[in-house]
Every structure is written in C-alpha cells, then in structure tokens.
Chains A and B, each alone.
Chain A
Amino acid sequence: MAKTPEPKRTISLKPCDGDVIEVSPMIAKQMQTIQSFIEDDSFIATTTIIPLPNVTAFQLSKIIDYLNYHSNSKAVADNVKESTKKFDEEFLKELEHDKLKELLHAANYLNVKEVLDFLCQAVADLIQDKSVKFVRKFFGVVNDYSVEEEEDIRRTHAWAFEGVEED
C-alpha cells in the first residue's frame, strides 16, 4: 500500500483502563482531538502514545468499530444500506444502560463527528413522539416535580403536548 518504507504507520492510543490500541491514520483522522495531537510538531508517530484519560478501552474500541465499518462499507457497492442499518442497530443494542451516555461523552471528547451524529440521532429518535413518561423511564430521569408543578409546566407549554398520547 504505502510506497515509502515507514517503520510504523499506526497511531497508538492509550485508554484509561487498558492496553494501547493501534489505529490507522485514516481512522485517527476522524477523531478531531487525535488529529490535533498528530498535527502538533512534537508528535512522533513511532514513539508517541496518545493518552486518553477520559476514554475507556470499551468506548474507544466501539468508536473504532463504528468508524471502521462505515469507512469500509462505503467502498462496497451492493446492499450497503441494509447491512449498514443492521450494523447500526446491533451497535446500539449493545449499548445498554449508561453505556450510551458514556459513549456520547467519549465521542464528544474525541470530537468524532460521525459517531456523535449517529448517537445523537439515536437519542433523538428515542425522544421523538414519545410520552414524557416513556422518556423518563427509558433514560432513568427521576421526576422531581410535585403533581402541581408538573401540571403547571404542562399548562405553560400546552401546545407541545397536544396530540401526544400518554402511555
């Protein structure tokens, strides 16, 4: 692939709770935070290990998984949409409980737009057209209103609740 003989062509990333993970420059480039490291003059690809104190090994590998899949699937012509959709669904299914939230944190920290967009869209889909009760339950938001307070808020923004079925 590469014509110039370079000793090492991957970028080393060190998550807070695991071993160093090597990623290709193509993938690293999509993480703006890493990219700014690489562009820094003091960065030497052969020796520098980029520490990521805010990102766990699980989160990092999930993000790399996502980027790998989506950058590869672009090259293949047929049936991309279906398999991509399936991959995305599986990807979300594995993010139980607070892992979605933490992955959002990580994606935000690494500033990787593709993953951030995907996760934010996923959260938005979970909120869209759902009742307040469902959203509270799904995301574990504790209702700290009194009945009167909640009624008051609903009255203030009555238009937003027209046509929404409470379940």
Chain B
Amino acid sequence: MNQGSSNKFDTLERSSDIEDRISELPNEIICYIFTFLNLKEIIKTKVLSHEWNERSIDMSNLVFDPTLINIDLVDDASLESIPLPQKYQFIEQVDQLLEIFNINQSASFTIWFPMGKQFTSHIDKWVNRAIIKECEKLDLELKFARIDDEPYNFPFHILLSSKKSHLKWLSLCECQVKPTREVVHRLNLLESLTLVYVSMEASDLEIILSSCLNLEFLHLIDCEVLTLLRIFNQDIMLKRLFVTPLIFVANIELSIPSLELFTFSGEIENFTISRMSQLKTVELSIEGTYPRGMGQLLDELSRNAPLLQTLFLSSHFDEFLSHAHNNNQTPKFNNLTHLELIAKGEYGWNVFIGILYKSPKLEVVVIEGYTPPIDDEPSWTNQQLVPTCISSSLKIVRFDEFKGQDFEVEMIEYIRFKRLFVTLVVFVANIELSIPSLELFTFDGVIENFTFSRMNQLKTVELYIEGTYPRVLFFMQFLSHAHNNNETPKFNNLTHLKLTPKGDYGWNVFIGILYKSPKLEVLVIEARSVSTRPTQIQHGQSCLSKCLAEELDRLAKVLSQENLDFKQTRDVVHDLTPTSPQQAFQSSSP
C-alpha cells in the first residue's frame, strides 16, 4: 500500500483518518452503482487505485455513443459530419472498452454512431460479440450513416456461424436488411423488431415475418419497403404494428388475426384489411386526403375489425360522408367506446356525425380542430334521429381548440351527455353555456367572458385561467360586497374549495369566497404568492355567514376570479381587505 510514498497525491489521503468507505463493497454493489453512471465515469474509477483498476466490471446495459469521443449527442449537426479520423477513434474506443467490460447475460447492447458500409468488419465484430454474449437487446442506431456512405448490411451470416441468438429485441437504423430463409429462423426468439430508414424489399419483410414466429411488435419507420406493405400471414403472433412510411404513396393490405394495435402515420392511397379479429386499437394519421374516401375507410374498419374499441383518426376530410345517417345499410363499430378525431377540411363535422351514427356504444369522444357544418347539410339539431350513443352510452366529450362558435354550442346543448370537458388551446372571447344535465365542467385557457345559465346539475367546476379574467369591474364589485352578506349570491352547497391564486389580491379573494360559502368543509390553498399567509387550512365547518339565495349563473363569474391579476384593483380594494386573517374571522363570527 505504501509503494507510492513519494507520490504527491498520497499525502492528502494519508492526512485524513477516513477509512476507505467504498472499495470494500462487494463487486456486485459496485457494478450496481455503475449502472447509474455513464461509461466515462466508470472508466475514471480505474485511476482511484490498483484495486479499482483490476475490478471486473459486469455490464447489463452497454451504450456506445458519440460521447465516447466527446461529441455532444444533442447536436445533430456535429453528428452529421463526423470526420473519418474521429470515426476510427470511436471504433478504437469501443474496442478498448469491450476489452474492459464483461457483458452480462441478457444484456442490452447499443451502438449509436453514424457508420456505414466501410466499417462493416468492425460492426460485424461487435454484433458477433453481442450474440456470443447472449445479449437480449441489440440496437444499431447508425443514424446519418447514409450521408457519406452506403448503408451497413446487417450480418445475417453471423447468425449461422455463431452461437444461437438470444436476441429478443432488435432495432436497426440506417442499415440494409437482406435476409435469407435459411438464416432468419436463427432469430426466432425475436419479440420486437424496429426498422428505421432501412432499405429492404417487401419480400424481405415477408421472410422475416414468416421465420420469426414469436414477433409481437413491429415498428417500421421511413422504410422504403412501405410503398407496398402486404402482410397476409395467419401464423404469426404479431400484436402491435407501427408504420410510418417515407415514400408518400403507401398501399397497405393486412390480414393478421393476432394484431391488437395498428398505428399508421403518413400519406396512404389504399388501406385494406381482412380478418383482423383481435384488432382493438387503430391510430390513423392520414396526411392529405384519403383517395378512396373516408366512408370507404370507415366501412373497411368496421367490417373487418369487429372488436375495435379505440379509434384515433386524424385526416383531411374533403368528401361528404353520404350514407352516414342511413343506419341500417353500413357496418357499425359495435364495440367502439373511445374516439379521438382531428378533422381538417370542409367535411370534418359531417364525418364526426357519421361516426357517431356508426358507433352505438361510444363512451368517450375527443374532438379537435373541426370546421363548421356545410350549408347543404341539415343542422345537427335538426336531425330526426339522434345517434344511439348520445342517448345511451356517451359519457365524456372533450373539445380541444373549442372556439365557442354557434354550431359547437348548439351541439353541446343538444347532446345530453353528463360530463363535458372543454380544453381550450386557442384564445376564446366568450363561452356561454346552458346545459341542465352537465355535472362537471373543466376549462383550461384564456377567456374573456363566461356566462352560465340553468346549470342545475353542475357539481364540479375546474377553471384554470391563464392571464387575467378581464371583467375586473365585476370583481371589484364582488369584493366590495364581500362582507355585505346579503347582497351577493352565495355558494350554498360548496363544500370543497381549492384555490391557486396568483397576483396580489389572492388573500382578499380567498376571504371573499369564504364569506360566500356557508357550507365549506374542505379548503386547500396553494398560494406561493401570498407568502405571509397560512398556506393550508382545513376546516370542519367554516360557516362565516348566513344563507342567501343561490344563482348558479354566477358560479363561473365568481370562481373564475381565482387567477385574477389583482394589481388592477389595488386602490379600490385595499381598504376593504382585512389586515389579518384573524380579523377576517373575528369580524364574521356571530
């Protein structure tokens, strides 16, 4: 231990009496600590002492990325143009580290570096190593390799000569895949395959699918093969299929009885499915217009995916859905309970109504960015037949980008759903609601004016108002009335209040609401801005005032003040504000 007595570093440790607090930990714990550190930090520990240098480092997750040559991962530009000498430096680094680390069984092995065909021998060697070490996860993330090189060819031949593959998870980015039937079955443990910007033929995919019968998850992103994707295979176990094509035309024909989830994003010319008896979730983001028409697509889905429960549909609807209302002539989504629609184009409203008619069991609807109904279409409220789901199963409707236009309000009034979520993304000038059946109302956004009327069933209101609610005049009036109990309406049934005030007059408003709420039982205040005040109060009964008539149409006006920028009313309100909470309570006690 003392061989380095002349060492200048040594004196420092010697002078401290601290016993070594880390080196004697069992190696398994040290290696576990290493899992929280990046490769660089792990290597740095080798300089601590001989013991650390000779330590065997067992790794379960190996990630070789550009940080090995001190290139920032976030900076795509520098990744695109890594000069050749640095690429060789990376290779050297990986080789050196592979000498140092032991790879555990079932480990995960990731190469994330732009390397193409010219580095084939090196990458082959690493893949071989991963397979020999019985890795379960292999990720070749060769992004940007194609900028200055041909793509690397995934070494299927290694599978023949090497040990049996334990790979369950394979991800290839910017590689070339040329499988042959004799070899691919060696990958038969594979459960998940992700291909990103991979050059392959449709027949290659067919070979993989027919050989890897345990494959449950297939993710195809930007793959050229997708100009035509035909999967007709009754034997495979595929459960989830994600497709994002690179080329704009895609012709997809699927017949996979085991499939449970299908996601597609891109332009598509033809989408045909058959015998999808397990398909429960479909997400389609169709860029541009679907040439065969939305009606055809919806019929295809409802006819061939009878168990479909969840449908996300984002598209440009330029075609009138003519048979939408002919209930008995088109197939139905008999199990659809959840629909999310992002409708662009003139016929968005029309298609939405059409799907409502097709889906008798719909429970949840989310609509975003739709357009007003067209003139020649009968207005929603004039429909003779109300869609079955509206009168029976529909529970939650959520509008994103609610614009408060006439037809939207019209529909809200018409639909007798019990719960209405309005999540607002854009600025809204005015919301006026009159829905006697509504029980819950949620709002998040910027608002100029709220008006409620006849909200007899409304029990819960959540308002997250960004910025200031502009009707300050009313607010001043409200506050000045705060202690004059008999002149303003009360929350006669309010038992639970949670307040997050910003601005100077949060406390003032809080006291005001207390006066208005004779039956309040639970009170939670989150008030960072009201620093000198108590932040959390729980009351059994804060009956601060006597009872008064309730006007529900005032509810929105009152509650919406919680986020007011109270500065505007400072002068007026100041005199009215109790100087301390104690005073407030005293003045109100009978």
Chain A residues engaging chain B, CB cutoff 8 angstroms: 78, 97-98, 100-101, 104-105, 108, 116, 120-121, 123-125, 127-129, 132-133, 135-137, 139-147, 149-150, 153-154, 157, 159-164
Q: Which residue of B lies closest to A77 (CB)?
A: B524
Given contacts A78-B524, A108-B28, A123-B22, are A147 and B8 in contact (CB under 8 A)? yes
Chain B residues engaging chain A, CB cutoff 8 angstroms: 1-4, 6-10, 12-14, 16, 18-26, 28-29, 32-37, 40-41, 43-53, 68-70, 93, 524, 526, 536
Q: Which residue of B lies closest to A150 (CB)?
A: B47
Contacts of A149 in B (CB 8 A): 4
Which residue from B13, B25, B46, B47 sits with its C-beta under 8 Å from A142? B13
Contacts of B43 in A (CB 8 A): 157, 160
Interface pair A120/B33, CB less than 8 Å apart: yes
A12 to B49, CA, bound (A): 42
A135 to B51, CA, bound (A): 15
User: Which 9 pairs, one residue from A and one from B, show the smallest C-beta to C-beta distance?
Assistant: A140-B18, A124-B36, A139-B22, A160-B43, A120-B33, A146-B4, A140-B20, A101-B21, A160-B40
User: What's the minimum C-beta distance from A147 to chain B, rounded to whole angstroms?
Assistant: 6
Given contacts A142-B1, A143-B49, are A97 and B12 in contact (CB under 8 A)? no
A121 to B37, CA, bound (A): 9
Interface pair B29/A120, CB less than 8 Å apart: yes
- Can you name 16 A-B residue pairings with CB atoms under 8 Å? A104-B29, A105-B25, A120-B36, A121-B36, A124-B37, A127-B41, A128-B41, A132-B48, A136-B13, A139-B20, A140-B13, A140-B18, A140-B21, A143-B10, A157-B44, A160-B43
A80 to B69, CA, bound (A): 40
Interface pair A140/B6, CB less than 8 Å apart: no
Interface pair A144/B1, CB less than 8 Å apart: yes
Further contacts, 16 of them, CB under 8 A, given A144-B1, A147-B7: A97-B18, A104-B29, A116-B32, A121-B36, A124-B34, A124-B41, A127-B37, A135-B45, A136-B13, A139-B21, A139-B23, A141-B48, A146-B3, A146-B4, A150-B47, A159-B70
Q: Which residue of B lies closest to A101 (CB)?
A: B21
Contacts of B3 in A (CB 8 A): 144, 146
Q: Which residue of B lies closest to A153 (CB)?
A: B47
Which residue from A104, A132, A153 sits with its C-beta under 8 Å from B25? A104
Interface pair B41/A108, CB less than 8 Å apart: no
Q: Which residue of B lies closest to A123 (CB)?
A: B33
Contacts of A144 in B (CB 8 A): 1-4, 49-51
Interface pair A135/B48, CB less than 8 Å apart: yes
Q: Which residue of B lies closest to A124 (CB)?
A: B36
Contacts of A97 in B (CB 8 A): 18-19, 21
User: What's the minimum C-beta distance from B59 to chain A, rounded to whole angstroms?
Assistant: 15
A129 to B34, CA, bound (A): 14
Q: Which residue of B lies closest to A151 (CB)?
A: B47
Interface pair A164/B48, CB less than 8 Å apart: no
A144 to B6, CA, bound (A): 11
Given contacts A98-B19, A124-B37, are A146 and B7 in contact (CB under 8 A)? yes
Max chain B Cβ within 10 angstroms of own Cβ: one of A123, A133, A153: A123
A26 to B51, CA, bound (A): 40
User: What's the minimum C-beta distance from A9 to chain B, rounded to whole angstroms?
Assistant: 30
Contacts of B93 in A (CB 8 A): 159
Q: Which residue of A lies closest to B2 (CB)?
A: A144
Interface pair A143/B18, CB less than 8 Å apart: no
Interface pair B21/A145, CB less than 8 Å apart: no
Interface pair B36/A159, CB less than 8 Å apart: no
Contacts of B12 in A (CB 8 A): 133, 136-137
Contacts of B16 in A (CB 8 A): 137, 140
Interface pair B33/A124, CB less than 8 Å apart: yes
User: What's the minimum C-beta distance from A157 to chain B, rounded to whole angstroms?
Assistant: 5
Contacts of A163 in B (CB 8 A): 70
User: What's the minimum C-beta distance from A103 to chain B, rounded to whole angstroms?
Assistant: 11
User: What's the minimum C-beta distance from B338 to chain A, rounded to whole angstroms?
Assistant: 27
Max chain B Cβ within 10 angstroms of own Cβ: one of A100, A108, A124, A137: A124
Max chain A Cβ within 10 angstroms of own Cβ: one of B43, B47, B526: B47
Interface pair B13/A141, CB less than 8 Å apart: yes
Contacts of B40 in A (CB 8 A): 159-160
A72 to B526, CA, bound (A): 21
Interface pair A78/B8, CB less than 8 Å apart: no
Max chain A Cβ within 10 angstroms of own Cβ: one of B6, B28, B32: B32
Interface pair A145/B36, CB less than 8 Å apart: no
Contacts of B1 in A (CB 8 A): 142, 144
Contacts of B41 in A (CB 8 A): 124, 127-129, 160
User: What's the minimum C-beta distance from B405 to chain A, rounded to whole angstroms?
Assistant: 37
Contacts of B524 in A (CB 8 A): 78
Given contacts A127-B45, A143-B9, A154-B47, are A100 and B21 in contact (CB under 8 A)? yes
User: What's the minimum C-beta distance from B318 to chain A, rounded to whole angstroms?
Assistant: 47
Interface pair B46/A157, CB less than 8 Å apart: yes
Interface pair B44/A161, CB less than 8 Å apart: yes
Contacts of B46 in A (CB 8 A): 153, 157
Interface pair A141/B7, CB less than 8 Å apart: no
A63 to B102, CA, bound (A): 31
Interface pair B526/A142, CB less than 8 Å apart: no
Interface pair B36/A150, CB less than 8 Å apart: no
Contacts of A136 in B (CB 8 A): 9, 12-13, 48-49
